[in-house]
């Protein structure tokens, strides 16, 4: 997957970003929901359709201000005249999701859209709406994810946050681990965003999330199917 790098020149103070949500991709939402409910040992809830992108989702609260999103192409939706977000149209992504759902990406919440210059291109902010939820999200025009999804997209909510509508079912994100062959660039991005995560050097891009659930610890790895 091609990556776009700009010359790294720190500009201004770090942004005050915090983890907002994890994104699990699925080939078929109706099939994935019961599989994932069995994996986590709790029901998924909320969600709806993203008309602009031709996708739909279900959600799971994973803390006081964070959630997990299960995202899939909506078979009843109208295909957009552009690439869908989080690489859902990428052949490699579609091939991997045909095997099983997989952790694809994560998003960090910001309070403003004016940001320092970032070394990795995550795209401009675009405005989206689902019911009474409104938000601005960084999306690349080609639909690809910078650094293979290891650096987060950025989201700014304009109104209620989904976690306020989700039941607390006892699932909590305990840790997020990041790896990438170009860890220096990824770490520069995280630092400029004020995010407290470290990216270690690794042979491949990988996001690992450890969650505490009523059924015990569950670990999601972007390099492995969720079973």
- What local confidence, expressed as pLDDT, does residue 7 receive? 35
- What local confidence, expressed as pLDDT, does residue 9 receive? 36
The model's pTM: 0.92
Sign of the torsion angle spanned by Cα atoms 203, 147, 106, 94: negative
What is the mean pLDDT, run by run of 10 residues, along the chain of 227 residues? 35 74 98 98 94 97 97 96 96 97 98 91 94 93 95 95 96 98 97 96 97 97 97
Please give the full DSSP string across 114-179, using - where no structure is assigned: -----SB----EEEEEETTEEEEEE--TT---GGGGTSPEEEEESS--GGGGS---S-EEEEEEEE
- CATH number for 18-221 (one of 3.30.70, 2.30.30, 3.30.2310, 3.10.180): it is 3.10.180
- What local confidence, expressed as pLDDT, does residue 46 receive? 83
């Amino acid at each position: 997957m091609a990556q776009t790098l700009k010359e790294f020149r720190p500009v201004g103070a770090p942004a005050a970003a915090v983890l907002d949500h994890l994104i699990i991709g699925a080939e078929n939402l109706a099939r994935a929901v019961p599989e994932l409910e069995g994996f986590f040992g709790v029901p998924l809830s909320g969600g709806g359709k993203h008309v602009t992108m031709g996708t739909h989702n279900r959600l799971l609260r994973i803390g006081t201000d964070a959630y997990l999103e299960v995202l899939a192409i909506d078979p009843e939706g109208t295909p957009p005249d552009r690439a869908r977000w989080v690489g859902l149209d990428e052949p490699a992504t579609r091939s991997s999701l045909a095997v099983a759902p997989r952790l694809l990406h994560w998003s960090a919440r910001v309070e403003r859209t004016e940001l320092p210059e970032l070394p990795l291109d995550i795209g401009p902010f675009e405005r989206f709406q689902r019911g009474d939820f409104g938000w601005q999200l960084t999306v690349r025009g080609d639909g690809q994810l910078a650094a293979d999804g290891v650096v987060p997209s950025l989201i700014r909510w304009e109104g209620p946050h989904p976690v306020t509508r989700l039941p607390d079912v006892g699932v909590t994100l305990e840790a997020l681990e990041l790896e990438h062959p170009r860890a220096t660039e990824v770490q520069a991005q995280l630092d400029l965003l004020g995010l407290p995560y470290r990216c270690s050097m690794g042979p491949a891009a990988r996001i690992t999330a450890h969650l505490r659930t009523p059924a015990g610890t569950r670990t999601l790895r972007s390099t492995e199917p969720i079973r």
